[in-house]
Structure 1
Amino acid sequence: MEAIGRVLLVDDDPDVRAMLSEYLSTHGLEVAVAEGGAAMLDALAQAVPDVVLLDLRLPGEDGLSLLRYLRQHHAVGVLIVTGAGEVVDRVVGLEMGADDYIAKPFEPRELLARVKSVMRRLAPAAAAPAVEAARPPSAVQRDEQRVAVGDCRLDLRAHRLFDAAGEELMLTAMEFELLKAFVERPNQVLSRDQLLTLTRNREWEPFDRSIDIRIARLRRKVEPDPERPRLIRTVRGAGYMYVPA
């Protein structure tokens, strides 16, 4: 059976690596494993995966530093693993660019679902089912390639964002889907529930703070003053609205 994707599992527990490697492999994924940061770099040199499953609690190593490295050097999905009560780790991980998280202990089925969800968001938007939503006449058309987002430019085909100088600003898959949803629906209030639907992220709850963290990350990339956002505005009690410059 041809693999549906490649996963790199970074975890210091050999039993966890063996169990998850076997489970994910039986569900169509090609799995590489690493017990720490050095082994992770070696594995990345051999082949870049679609998704990295990264345990933040690695002995003697800072999992967040490994996450920062991944975000700076590779366009891969990152699913972080945290302890059940480690809310701070989850929040910081999401702020640093993780695509999703899962807390230990977890069911392998949930892990598989989240890995597949990240892979879907990494796939070209044209390959995913269209989401029906009302669009005003000024909405972005599918045949347009780059659209202005303040001083930035968003390439809808390549899933890339560029600043005013033409330098690329790294986007996670979820950040791209959120920004795409906004620019295609200017001046339209979108609730958290609508944003979850439009980004095909129904595994999350509508009031999950994760979406607010991602909005904050987007503002830091596209807003001249993220503390006083003018492009992605908060509509109190309703959601968010994109207002073109």
Structure 2
Amino acid sequence: MMMNLFSTFDPSTNFNMQLNWLSTFIGLIFIPQLFWLIPSRFYFLWNKILSTLHLEFKILLGNPKMNGSTLIFVSLFSIVLYNNFMGLFPYIFTSTSHLTLTLTLALPLWISFMIFGYINNTIHMLAHTVPQGTPPVLMPFMVCIETISNIIRPGTLAMRLAANMVAGHLLITFLSGTGSSLSLFLINFLILVQLALFTLEFAVSIIQSYVFAVLTALYSSEVN
């Protein structure tokens, strides 16, 4: 029995096992088994998606010397998308609803961007802390504000993904708990609402994985 509404997002709730974190790797089953041998329709579809993302990330990065870097962000998009989709299935733990996973993805990338930027483009990185046209009197304050906004980037990136995953799942869980006390008409209406929310969550899963990867690519482009 669910004692707390938020226990849905506790890794040890379902079946009382910490192995629920293995749901992070369940997305691997969607990779075509004959990926390198017999191109299927799914292969062509996924290849088209990855090619489109590659071109978009290439434009965002802007530096022709960093074309290979798009593979990092395409892979990041794929990982987040897989885990978001896995959370839509019953009794599968939504790993992207935890900051444990989202921070693990966001923080190392941000730290590596900062280290790379300050080692190779120190003047460029320092110039970012003072927006163009800032009056000399406000420059110390702008440096503080820009530095703080830069430091909290990995936190906001991770929190955005986790919060969006929690919000939709929490609403679906809350509405599902009221089904036993409703009349037949209201139950039918509840089913329609749940289907609409499920469709919304499906779209949110795609959008949030795309936003996560795009923002990471933008943070990377600023250090060049």
With normalisation by structure 2, the TM-score equals 0.26
- Ranked by relative contact order (alpha carbons within 8 Å, sequence separation 6 or more), the top structure is 2
Q: As a proportion of its length, which structure holds more strand?
A: 1
Q: As a proportion of its length, which structure holds more helix?
A: 2
With normalisation by structure 1, the TM-score equals 0.24
